[in-house]
Every structure is written in C-alpha cells, then in structure tokens.
Structure 1
C-alpha cells in the first residue's frame, strides 16, 4: 500500500517546509480510527495557511491526505481538541522524518516536559470544574440523565489529571492508563457506569467523592494560572487575564475556574472603587 500511495506525498516530502510524513492504515474492527478510509497520510509542515484535507481513490484504495501545520499540531497536543490526530501520531508509520522531527515529537510526548504538563493540567482542571459544577446544578434540578452526562465528562477530566500528575501524557485509551496509575478514580468511573444503585443515588455518592478529589488536586490544578498571574506584580482585571496568550486554551472556562479558586480561598478578590458610588471593580491576585 505504501508504494501505491507514494505519489500523494512524494512532492511534499521534497519541500523544505515539510517536517514529516506518517501513514495510518485501516485495521479490521477499528475502521472508525481512520474514518473508514483504507489509509490516512498526515503531512506536517511549518508554513502557515497550508492546512487542508484531500480525499483520493488510488487504484481501489481509499486515502485521506491531511496537511497540518506545526502550530496546529502543538495546539492539539496541549488542548486535546483533536484526539483523532494524536491517536494517528501514536499509531502512525513514519514515511518521512526530516531531522528526526516526528521521532523527537513522539519522544517529547512520552517524556511530557514540565512546561507542557503545567499547561495541560490547567486546561484539564478548568474543564473539570466546568463539567462538575454544571452536573451538580443539573442534579439539583432533578435532570439526572443530563447530570450523568456532565459527571461522566468530569470523570474523564479527572482521569486525565491523574495521568498527567504521574508525568504521563493522557492517551486516547485513558482509562487503561488510569486503571494502572489511579485505581481510585477508575473505581469511581466503574461505579458510575455499572453500579447497582439507581442513577440518582449513584450520582449523589459520586459527586461527594469527585468533590473531594477535586479539592485534593486543587494545588496542581491552579498551578498554571498561578504561574501566569505571578508574571505581573499587582492585581489583574478579568479582561487582562482573559486576554493573556497563556490561558487561551481554556479561556472559555476561565471565569468559573477563577471564581471556584476565589470561593475556595486560593485566589484573592480585591474591590477597587469605580466612578459610580457603591460600585466596585473586581481585581484578582494569588
């Protein structure tokens, strides 16, 4: 198959802006992993505006060609917003590897440097707070199935936090990882999915356990935001903080994260007088 598909990437491989090319082949029983194509070819390049997707039929072999930029790839790695691409990266066979680019990228993921872990932790913790608090609110409104969905997602973020805390990158098969590194979180997931209690009772008990788990991880969850805010002396307005480049990967959940940290005594909220009597601007600091 590789020889048949060579024409799709050969010209790109000779381009000095191309960093690497890898191939993912369809596996019986796992066809969705390649979006039902026989093969997926991913080309990583450094030039902006190069991203595109093309579909081909090569003598009866269906193929998808994805051209992605380095910036996109690193965003997906940190944010986890394109887990399909990360799965392809882990599974893929390297076809072209300029200056060991893909090899070094995989090594970086396996070693998961401290600065990457810090940002990834901030992202997952912010999403965890959002999902858990929304799930709790829906539970209080007796919308148990909707609450179940949010609590399930909260458990996924809690699971990824546990994996990151161990210095590992959370893979697509995260529960396989969690079963090894954090049996307690795995047990919570198991109880939610297959527990004998009714859904209301399962959610009630699990929310207590998850809330305790969140509090036990608050020191790592706040670390990235703390590092960002401590770069500037003095107080931050919310607008200043939301405009910071470092928090853009979780800015959609920044407000609830910030208020959660305030409510739990981790962030100080300071009132400053405005032009209107009795109205104060709110500023924040660690």
Structure 2
C-alpha cells in the first residue's frame, strides 16, 4: 500500500505514528459502546499540533481531534489540510499554547493527549506535562515527543563541531551555543521522570530518528529498497535503550490509571 506522504516524512514520524495508532486502537476498544458515547470514537487533544502532521491521520482513523497551537498560519494550514483529507468535521483548531491550555480547552475532557515538540520551548517543562495530564480523562493516554540530548551530541560531533558537542553535555538545557534553535533537550531519564512526577505510568520509551538524520540523503534516495530498510532499522532501534540515548527525539507513551 503506497502513501505519497511516506518517503521523507515517514522517517520523522513512522515510529511515533505506529506506537500512537496502536495505543489509540487499544484505548478505543477499552472505551467501546457504553464508554463516553454510543460508539468508540476518541476525543484527542494535540497541543502544539501545528499543521496537522498527526492530527489529520488521527482524524482519518475516525477520532475527534482538537489542535491547540499559537500560530494562526499553522491553524489555517491545518484547516485546509483537514478539508483536503475529508476530515474537516473531525478536526478543530484553537489558538493557544500549553501554558494557558485551560483557557481554550476543558480539563479532563480527552481520551488521549499528544504533546509533540512542545516541552523544548516551555520555560517550565513540568508545567507542560502537568497540563497535558490534567486534560486527560481517567485511563487516558499521553504521547510525549521531545528533543533528545544525545542525538545533538552525536550530530555535532559527526559534523566536526567537537566543542559544540561537548557544550551540549555541559549546558544545563543541552544547547550547543547561542545559535542553537532548540531551547532545551532531554535525556530519556529526564522525560520519564517528568511523566512519572505528573502521576502517569510510563508504558514505553522509544528513540526516534536514531539514524535518519545521520544517513546522507543520497544513500536513501539512490538505492532501491533503502528507505524501507532504514524504516525497519529505525523501528528496531527505537526500543533499544542504548540507542535511545543517541536519538534525535525521544517518545514516551504513558497511561493515566483510573481511580
């Protein structure tokens, strides 16, 4: 089954999407008829969801998605993208951010919350996680994606910027210098501690883009079958703790236990 979005974008999203889709399927089955409604349709919140990289595919699975993003331009692109995908009736864009989340959405109103690429830009990442958790219904699911510290060290070193690579390790926020566009990065231990501290049970940790950002594009685009092979390698590496520590991004899946 071919997907026109697959080639390059898939290297960035494949691992997270596979994990998320399975988690939503499990949540949908557990909700079922007699759950929140007459049929198992989930309410999903995507904080910082931008133009809908995850929101639109989630809506195509049949779920209702609310996207909170500070950018009007991103929300306009989201609206257009949802319409083109035929899911405009299941995607709602709201201008706002994770800091003031409950100015625009209700507490405890969602079966799943996606917090992807948000914590890096928050002054207080713990607040971002607490807000995401507070938006969940009992037994809700959190999908958290954030920049990995080890991946930045490896990338700077392989580019020959050895002092910058060392600076990532020394900097309290994992930055390589004033020109670094990412305000902070995390280790797997830091992310899981934030999630556990907010009262969730960590179900799984995955490394995202362990190799994809390091492999020259010519090797992927020029060799038949190379993309599929790299995708399979990324999927296999995602669950290996030693490789998670050098991933460009880290994904944490967690559950809010009822009661």
Q: Same fold (TM over 0.5)?
A: no
TM-score (norm 2): 0.25
Tell which has more relative contact order, 1 or 2 (C-alpha 8 A, sep 6+).
2
Higher alpha-carbon Rg: 1
Determine which structure has the larger helix proportion and give its number.
Answer: 1
